[in-house]
Amino acid sequence: MSNSPLIDLLKEVISTELHLLPINNTIDIEEKQLQATCRFVKIRLKQSMPYFGFSIDISKGTGNVDPIYPFFAEKEGLCRKNDAILFFQKSHKIYVLLVELKSVNKGEYLKQMKAAKCFVEFILCRIKLLKSAPNIDSDNIEFRGALFSCRRIPNEGTTERPRSIDFKDRNGLLVTENTGNQLYHIKDFLK
């Protein structure tokens, strides 16, 4: 058990084939598109910090119904998904990190993150209906977006990870933009 009733319950209610399991205390988030240059980001966890992560970034394939949103009709942007959704508990606060990897064109990443936030809020509302549900205080849940891109940036060529991860309010969601294909530490996202 993680010592976080909500995180423990999320592990139970989200299908295990969607779980992102840490290996050596590190979460690997990978881009599945073959032509992507921003292939991965690794996030090193603190062993004592309760964690859960999953990915719903499953392609529907040609002509198929979306496997995550089979109840939606074909409408542009309705079935947007993130590369990963991560939950962490620090003190009494639950952080939800909405992760997106982009190779060159950031596109509509903010809409993807907001769609993920709506999806997580839906999950939390459904969990509240369970008899075994812990008290879920929305004031103790903070959503943050993390965009990792491999587009050209001014300090390109350096291999060091950023010293500080800064979040900026992007239309109601705190978002940070960082370089992909690197290792980060979870504590840097929760300051």
Q: Could you tell me if residue 58 is inside a domain?
A: no
Furthest C-alpha separation in the chain: 53
Nearest one of 70, 148, 133, 58 to 102, comparing CA atoms: 148
Give the residue among 159, 146, 190 at the shortest CA–CA distance from 51: 190
In a domain, 21, yes or no: yes
Residue 40: give the domain boundaries: 5-46+77-151+165-181
Q: Is position 140 within any domain?
A: yes
Q: How far apart are CA 88 and CA 159, in angstroms?
A: 27
Residue 106 lies in a domain: yes
Task: Report the alpha-carbon distance of residue 161 to residue 74 in Å, rounded.
Answer: 40
Kind and range of the H or E element at 40? strand 40-44
pLDDT at 131: 84
pLDDT digits (tens, 9 = 90+) for 44-96: 999 889 999 999 887 766 667 777 777 777 777 777 788 999 999 998 899 99
pTM: 0.88
Taking the alpha carbons of 145, 138, 164, 162 in that order, is the dihedral positive or negative? negative
The number of folded domains in the chain is: 1
**pLDDT-flagged residues of the chain (< 50):** 1, 156
* pLDDT confidence of residue 82: 86
Report if residue 62 sits inside a domain.
no
In a domain, residue 100? The reply is: yes
Residue 124 lies in a domain: yes
* 186 assigned to some structural domain: no
> Would you state the pLDDT for residue 1?
46
The residues near 187 (Cβ < 8 Å, ≥ 6 apart) are 46
Are 114 and 173 contacting, i.e. CB atoms less than 8 angstroms apart?
yes
